[in-house]
Each structure stands twice: as structure tokens, then as C-alpha cells.
Amino acid sequence: YKRVTVKTLVDMKAHGEKISMLTAYDYSMAKIVDGAGVDVILVGDSASNVMAGHETTLPITLDQMIYHASSVVRAITRALIVVDLPFGSYQSDPKEALRSAIRIMKESGAHSVKLEGGKEVKESIKRILHAGIPVMGHLGLTPQSIYKFGTYTVRAKEEQEAVNLIEDAKMLERIGCFAIVLEKIPSDLAKKVAESVSIPIIGIGAGHDVDGQVLVLHDMLGMTHEFNPRFLRRYLNLYDDMTNAISQYVSDVKRVDFPSDEEQY
Ligand code: KIV
Ligand code: NA
């Protein structure tokens, strides 16, 4: 695919081709992620944790999300860009939700937005969709509701929550969402959801019987090491590699090994 669009993703599901998605929050990393062939780049509100060092995703603002998104937009040539609507920018009423989504689209140049929740945010999603802005849903463990859950453990293990989740997924498809993220739910439930809808289901901690996978970039590169959920596969140990490189630099400067004769004018 030359340029990934929301239509491409639905076609990929129809053809059984898995969708790869990663987060990015800045130009330099987004350029690498896009160049490596990732289908979807999520400018996640996980930037609140990863980039700003907050404990939760709640503090990040719409202006900050737009800053991250516009940096990512300048880097990519192929991937579809999805931007999280941050906590507080869409829950009050559908008009505010639409205003926030419009700001993201206009000021960053991104291609779509994502927001958390099912029937509670149905009217907001409809309003955004009516303006021609593609929306990705997000169900299961929705981190903006962490104080309601009280824990980051697996969601929808109980029957009623599982039933509600399937209902919400079907509703999101019906009103026109182009895909749904399912976070940290039992794999058999995720499989059931993926089979119940024709839009792609992108999992994180939701097993392999879904239509694609997403991880937080800094987690899969091993830049973070306090966060160790079962679903996280680390492809590098950048925390250690970067620490070694930087302490080598410090030592080279102290010993006047750097710069060498060749590295000066
Ligand atoms: O903000 C984020 O990184 C996310 C993914 C974990 C799906 O929403
Ligand atoms: Na998010």
C-alpha cells in the first residue's frame, strides 16, 4: 500500500492481512516508525506518561496533543495517523468533542482521532463522524478511567462487562467507526469481538485472534523498564544501550579522549 487510509485497514481485515500499529510522539521517532513500514501510527495520550513523565494519561492537554501530532505529521509518508482525544476534551458534550476533533485535524494535519468509551460517548462520536472525521474506538481497559477502575488489571473478565463490551463494539461499528482498539481483555473475548464486527480490531494485551496489534513504542524498544505487563514484548533494550553509550561519552569527555585530533578543525 502506497498510503494507508481508513479504507485500506478495512480491506486488510477483509483479506486477513494483520495490521501493525505503534505509537509515536515526535518527528525523529515517527520517521523511523513510518520508514520501517508500520501501517498505523498512534499519537497516543500515553505521551502523558512516556514524554511528560506523568503517572496517568489524564493531565495531557489538547494543545500538547496537537504539538505531538503535528511533529509526527511532518515525518510520515505512508502510515495512517490516529490522534488520541485527551481526557476532558470530549466528555462534556458532543459539541465540545467535535470542536476538539476539528482542532486536531486543522492544527496538526492528522488523518483521524481516537477516543475512549462506548455508549457514554456515542453522541460525541456521531457528531465527529458527521463532520467527516474518521474515528477509532477504544474499549476494555481505557486508561482515562483509571480512577473509576482503581487498577490496571485485565478488564471484562466478568460476564456483564463482557456482554457490554460486545454491545459497545457493535454500536461503534454501526455508527461508523473505522476500527477499535481493545486493551487488556481476555483473548477469547477479543476473538469474539473481532468475529462480530467487520471493522478491524486492534489489540493490546488482547491475544492474537484480532486483526492487528499496537504497542507503545518506548515500551517495545525497551526504553522504559518499570513497566512489565505480560503482553509487552521488548525488541531492544534501549534503556541499557543508551545508558552505556552516554556513560561512554561522559568518560571520553573526562579523559579528553573526545574529541580526537580528527574530530577538530
Ligand atoms: O495512548 C496509547 O498509547 C494508547 C494505546 C496503548 C492503544 O491508547
Ligand atoms: Na491512549
Active site residues: 183
Parse the chain into domains and list their residue ranges: 6-236
The alpha carbon of 36 and the centre of ligand 1 are apart by a number of angstroms equal to: 20
CA distance 19 to 155: 23
pTM, 2 dp: 0.97
Q: What is the full DSSP assignment across 61-125?
A: -HHHHHHHHHHHHTT-SSSEEEEEPPTTSSSS-HHHHHHHHHHHHHHH--SEEE---SGGGHHHH
116 labelled ligand-binding = yes
Distances, alpha carbon 247 to alpha carbons 20, 29, 200, 221, 251, in Å: 34, 22, 44, 19, 6
Write the single-letter amino acid at 52. Answer: A
Atom of ligand 1 nearest to the CA of 47: 1
> pLDDT tens digit string along 28-78?
999 999 999 999 999 999 999 999 999 999 999 999 999 999 999 999 999
- Ligand 1 pocket (Cβ < 6 Å) reads 23, 42, 44-46, 84, 181, 183, 204, 214, 216
Q: 5 with 25: CB under 8 angstroms?
A: no
Instruction: Work out the pLDDT band at 11, boundaries 50, 70, 90.
Output: very high
The alpha carbon of 255 and the centre of ligand 2 are apart by a number of angstroms equal to: 45
CA distance 172 to 117: 10
Q: Residue 29 burial (CB < 10 Å; 0-12/13-18/19+)?
A: buried
Q: Give the residue, by CA position, lying nearest to ligand 1 atom 8.
A: 44
CA distance 169 to 190: 10
CA distance 164 to 203: 18
CA distance 113 to 81: 8
Q: 86 with 80: CB under 8 angstroms?
A: no
- Average of pLDDT values for 249-255? 98
The best mutation among 21, 42, 185, 210 to test binding of ligand 1, ranked by most ligand atoms within 8 Å of the C-beta, falls on 42
31 labelled ligand-binding = no
Q: Which of 66, 64, 162, 158 is nearest to 109 (CA)?
A: 66
- Who contacts 192 (Cβ-Cβ below 8 Å, separation ≥6)? 166
Q: Which CATH superfamily groups domain 6-236? A: Phosphoenolpyruvate-binding domains (3.20.20.60)
252 labelled ligand-binding = no
> pLDDT tens digit string along 152-209?
999 999 999 999 999 999 999 999 999 999 999 999 999 999 999 999 999 999 999 9
Say what the ipTM of the complex is: 0.99
- pLDDT of the residue at 183: 98
**Greatest C-alpha distance within the chain:** 71
* Ligand with the closest atom to the CA of 202: 1
Q: Which of 138, 37, 27, 12 is nearest to 86 (CA)?
A: 138
The best mutation among 45, 60, 85, 87 to test binding of ligand 1, ranked by most ligand atoms within 8 Å of the C-beta, falls on 45
